[in-house]
Structure 1
Amino acid sequence: MTFSPTVIFVVIFCVQSLAAMLQNGFMVAVLGREWVQSQALPAGDTIVAWLAAFRFCLHGLAIISNFLNFMFKCKNYFFGTLWDFTNTITCWLTTWLAVFYCVKISSFSHPIFFWMKWRISRSVPRLLLGSLILGCLSAISTVTGNIITFQMMACENCTFSYRVRKFYQYYFRCHAMLMCGTPFFLFLLSILLLMFSLYWHLEQMRHHRPRPHDHSTQAHTTALKSLAFFLIFYTSYVLLLSISTAQVITIYSSWRWAWEVITYTGISLHSTILMLSSPKMRKALKMKFSSLCVAGS
């Protein structure tokens, strides 16, 4: 039996998305249990918990939406709107996590950074609420664009219908760039500031006696590894949204599915890095594997 490249990529996409849902569900369960026990979570873990929860939903909606598009050759606008809502929130949560790392770890001596270090943890609930509001605005924008397009397409004039399609592409291209391009720019800025902070810190260390355990350098390096790795896939993610909106690659193209596999794999691997870099997550994983080994023996 022979399989087309599209079918192979579809299967890979579904399998890795289900694995990502399992991984993010585990992170939500661990952090949720800690929140129930202590009635509080550190600010960074709160962002991670929200990010894991919405990534769980994002992977699930991506499977449903892409499966409907692939099987029935039509776009489901309901699931598309839900995906757009979840995707916008996920992009902003990823950005807030990068900003949080940048503010907490960076060693700048400017008063603005001192003020941000003091305020960032208290501002996390507002950042989360702001992400939800932006997600709602994104969904409203998507629904409004669809309604306007449907009403304009009721006209049977061929020239007018062509203009409607051009308006639809232009509208949602601007929508995607605004909702995903803005957090991407802040994400990139946070990485650049962290890199400059690490460079400045290393320059300072050259003129002083080096410490055997430089926790600041280690924190900079750990954060940059996680963020810089995800930056590659975040870039491809924004490009994919732009290409999809412009309809350069259709949903039925194997190249589209190959790109989605790469992009969503990058999101999954970023979640893996977040999980393995957390001591409490590693501890929960060890306990889980130990219990499975005991049960299997």
Structure 2
Amino acid sequence: MLSVVDGIFIFVVISESVLGVLGNGFIGLVNCIDCVKHKFSMIGFILTGLAISRICLIWLLITDGFIHIFSPDIYLSGNLLECISYFWLIINQSSIWFATSLSIFYFLKIANFSNTIFLWLKSRINRIPTFLMGCLLISWLFSFPHTAKMINDHKMKNATVWHFNVSRSEYFIKQVLLNLGVIFFFTLSLITCVLLIISLWRHNRQMQSNLTGFRDVSTEAHVKAMKVLISFIILFILYFVGITIEISFFSVPENKLLLMFGITTSVIYPWGHSFILILGNSKLKQASSRALQQLKCCEKRNSLRAT
């Protein structure tokens, strides 16, 4: 029997999921329409892939969490555990792959360095996702065997309870090996964010030396990109904390409140960053404004018809 607090958490999780699906669905729809009307663009592909992967991530987090809350015995039959584990591995790493590609794309488009390596990368900006895709495939090759081993190690002996019979250090090493790809991509995002801050600092110094007292277009672009990147880093850390809380639930399976708190925390990342992307992207922001105006017009028409 669920308590009032449990009900509140479930309501919050469902609300977050709806917002996440709507926000990411809007991003994917706008970019797909733009690609059909005009032409294929790398930024449109990255944003569409990011939106789709995050919608899948939301559904996976919610499905897995609700199964643990309402029907934990389902995991005891069939291969549901293996399916969810492998699917989560693919979706989770794909999501951060798209986010990292977006971070590098913003960095190479906006930052201003005279370094030879930076100029070389800038001239080959459309090839960067291909390189990162290779890194993603290598990450999957490393992660799948470790996932299979962890499933076998952590499965129940007597088909009734979970057991954790490994030391903390061994478990930590296994988690690091399992998430090598995530760590690599997240590190790249951190590096691009720091380099973008350095680029903004150098640009502001140059503007001050030229006695320019207003913020130019380049400064505005730097600030918008930094907001997107910094918010991604903060929300992803929050997401990682939520996943850690969910994993700790297996050591105390009777504490469902801990699991629901972890789900609530982890879902903030895929829905929260989607709205930050909408507000930070001029095309998405204009499209959202037009959509809201059309909704208001429809409401007015319906109210006039009702009267």
- Equivalences for residues 67-82 of structure 1 within 5 A: 67-73=66-72, 75=75, 76-77=80-81, 78-82=83-87
Secondary structure in structure 2 of the residue aligned to 1:109:
coil
Q: Between the two proteins, what is the percent identity of the paired residues?
A: 26
Confirm whether residue 96 of structure 1 aligns to residue 101 of structure 2: yes
Aligned position for 1:200: 202
- Give, in angstroms, the shift of residue 217 of structure 1: 1.0
Per-residue displacement from partner, 1:152-210 (whole Å, max 9, x unpaired)? 958xxxxxx76468798456422444232222222212211111111121122221231
Q: Distance in 1 between matches of 2:288 and 2:165?
A: 55
- Give, in angstroms, the shift of residue 255 of structure 1: 4.0
Confirm whether residue 138 of structure 1 aligns to residue 137 of structure 2: no
Asked whether the 8 Å contact 1:31–1:45 carries over to 2, the reply is yes
2:221 aligned to which of 213, 219, 222: 219
Aligned position for 2:294: 291
What TM-score do the two structures reach when normalised by structure 2?
0.80
1:173 aligned to which of 172, 175, 180: 175
- Give, in angstroms, the shift of residue 38 of structure 1: 2.8
Asked whether the 8 Å contact 1:201–1:217 carries over to 2, the reply is yes
Confirm whether residue 58 of structure 1 aligns to residue 57 of structure 2: yes
After superposition, the Cα gap between the structure-2 partners of 1:139 and 1:57, relative to the gap in structure 1 and judged at 3 Å, is farther
Secondary structure in structure 1 of the residue aligned to 2:87:
helix
Asked whether the 8 Å contact 1:176–1:241 carries over to 2, the reply is no
Q: Distance in 1 between matches of 2:133 and 2:107?
A: 17
Secondary structure in structure 1 of the residue aligned to 2:124:
helix
For residue 227 of structure 2, what is the amino acid of its counterpart? K
Q: Distance in 2 between matches of 1:45 and 1:121?
A: 12
- Give, in angstroms, the shift of residue 104 of structure 1: 2.0
Aligned position for 2:278: 275
Per-residue displacement from partner, 1:126-163 (whole Å, max 9, x unpaired)? 4346546645753454234324655x958xxxxxx764
After superposition, the Cα gap between the structure-2 partners of 1:182 and 1:128, relative to the gap in structure 1 and judged at 3 Å, is closer
After superposition, the Cα gap between the structure-2 partners of 1:90 and 1:105, relative to the gap in structure 1 and judged at 3 Å, is same
Q: Which runs of 5+ in 2 are unaligned?
A: 302-307
Aligned position for 2:304: none
Asked whether the 8 Å contact 2:249–2:256 carries over to 1, the reply is no
Q: Distance in 1 between matches of 2:280 and 2:199?
A: 21
Moved more, 177-186 or 245-254: 245-254
For residue 35 of structure 2, what is the amino acid of its counterpart? W
Asked whether the 8 Å contact 1:149–1:164 carries over to 2, the reply is no
- Give, in angstroms, the shift of residue 244 of structure 1: 4.3
After superposition, the Cα gap between the structure-2 partners of 1:69 and 1:25, relative to the gap in structure 1 and judged at 3 Å, is same
Q: Distance in 2 between matches of 1:8 and 1:246?
A: 21
Q: Distance in 2 between matches of 1:185 and 1:194?
A: 14
Asked whether the 8 Å contact 2:249–2:258 carries over to 1, the reply is no
